[in-house]
Amino acid sequence: MKTGSFLRILAVALALPIAALQARPALEKPNFIVILLDDAGYANFSHSGHPTIETPNISKMAEDGMNFTNYYSAAAACSASRYGLLTGRHPLRSGFPWVIPPSFPRFIHAKEITIANILRDTGYATAIFGKWHVGTPNEANHFDRNAFPLAHGFNFWLGTNVSHDYLDSKLIRSDPEGFDPINGYHTLAVDLGLDHDWKVLKTLTRRYQDAAVGFIKANASSPFFAYIPLNFPHLQLAASDGSLHTSAAGLLGDTMTDIDTLVGTLRRTLEEKGIAENTLIVFTSDNGQWIRFQDTASHPRYMEARLLVGSARPFRDGKGSTWEGGQREPGIWCWPGTIPARSTNRHPASNLDILPTLTTLAGGVLPTDRSIDGRNIAPYLNPSHFDGEVPEFTFFYEGHTTTTNAVRKGPWKLHIALYSQLGINYGYAPDGNTRQVLEKPLLFNLELDPSERHNVAAEHPEIVKELKTAIENFEATAKKEGSFWDEK
């Protein structure tokens, strides 16, 4: 056989599996990848204007898909935010505080229905690669198996139980033959917060990347859901050997390079398997930058943190705050062939919308026996494919005391209480480290004033009244419904 003929036959043979994979229509049970960063400020990316952090793969994903410019995390801190994303429910309904340490008795309740539960019941393979942080089996909860991911719809897990800077945090993998810390899991490393030479920390993003690539390849011919809640850029930063000292932005830039490499690798894998057009990727963060350390010149584990926390500019404040910097996040939804390239969406949306939207796209069924606070935003992605109206955006900002501090409806945002990890209230209330209830609410038009500089409450008393009533009604109904932990 002539060499040319052989090569043509080989090319056809190699193309057959890809053609078979592409046979499934893009809208028929699409694959989902949700990438959630940890403590990423809004301005930590090339596409949002950072002058020295280079994230070309993330920028390319924004160019290839839809960039939401009014996108929110579910809460301004870790555990509450993850609960909201996973359940589509406001964190006030969780029954636990903003951040739960590994010794905390409560966790995401067994009766909660997560997006992984729904998708697995709809025929999806499900996996989590990264930080869990909505519960840990411990003595206080009698090492309850419901505290970990396999009890909440996931088939596989590789990641940390809490933030990696906890002195007693662990890197864990699900394992049918494992028994540490409970049956079904195997502990790979302990005491990550003491990993001063980065032996484990510098490998985390790459570990998740490689495991996710393997998961995609193993499930390329059937629907899958990969939830990838990365550990970084949460302090204590660490970068891989390949990225260290490569960014003009220093260690923060190096860490973002690792994250950007993960995004590029996952997208190339989808292309290689012929399923890029069958896969929706959502890219976002759990809350803003850890502003508490913005002036810290030296820290035993966080180093010169003031250069490493990042920025939420143009928004005010950061993590822990219900100012915009605490919850305004990158929101990229990329689905080649379905979401038009170079789309910019200025409608407000949030991570609460992920569960209802993915459920609808997968042909799943939303639970009807509980409140779902998120909305199906599929019509935003491509109105020619997805009919219907997206419900109006009314978004309640949860304060660190599990009470409502603010609400946004349309362009208007009303603050009834303030808190900042900096202990300052920008002249609107006495400074202090506790929640400050405002004698007179603050009102901002976020479309005209995204930095929340100009209080216009006096000019719009009717809007102040409307939004105060919305908060009162929401808190009353949330209190009446309670959480599953309130059940006897």
| Residues 371 and 382: beta-carbon distance below 8 Å | no
Taking alpha carbons only, the member of 26, 41, 76, 62 closest to residue 283 is 62
pLDDT at 130 over 70: yes
| Mean pLDDT on 24-51 | 93
Confidence band, pLDDT 50/70/90 cuts, at residue 5: very low
Residue 21 confidence (pLDDT):
41
Q: What is the pTM of this model?
A: 0.94
Please give the pLDDT value at position 11: 35
pLDDT tens string 291-311: 999 999 999 999 999 999 999
Helix (H) or strand (E) holding 14: helix 3-22
Share of the chain above pLDDT 90, in %: 91
Q: Please state, in angstroms and as integers, the Cα–Cα distance from residue 197 to each residue in 96, 253, 305, following that order.
A: 34, 19, 17
Distance, in Å, from the CA atom of 115 to the CA atom of 366, rounded to the nearest integer, reads 9
pLDDT at 4 over 60: no
Please spell the DSSP secondary structure of 399-446, one letter per residue.
Answer: PTTSSEEEEEETTEEEEEEE--TTS--TTSS---SS-EEEEEEEEEET
User: Looking at residue 126, what is its pLDDT?
Assistant: 98
- Specify whether the CB–CB gap between 13 and 260 falls below 8 A: no
Rounded CA-CA distance 408/443 in Å is: 10
396-405 mean pLDDT? 89
CA dihedral 165, 168, 169, 174 (to 10 degrees): 170
pLDDT of 49 higher than 90: no
Query: What distance in Å separates the CA atoms of residue 183 and residue 150, rounded to the nearest whole number?
Result: 11
Helix (H) or strand (E) holding 350: strand 349-350
Mean pLDDT confidence for 365-392: 96
Predicted pLDDT at 58: 97
Rounded Cα distance, 50 and 28, in Å:
37
- Per the omega criterion (within 30 degrees of 0), is the bond before 233 cis? yes
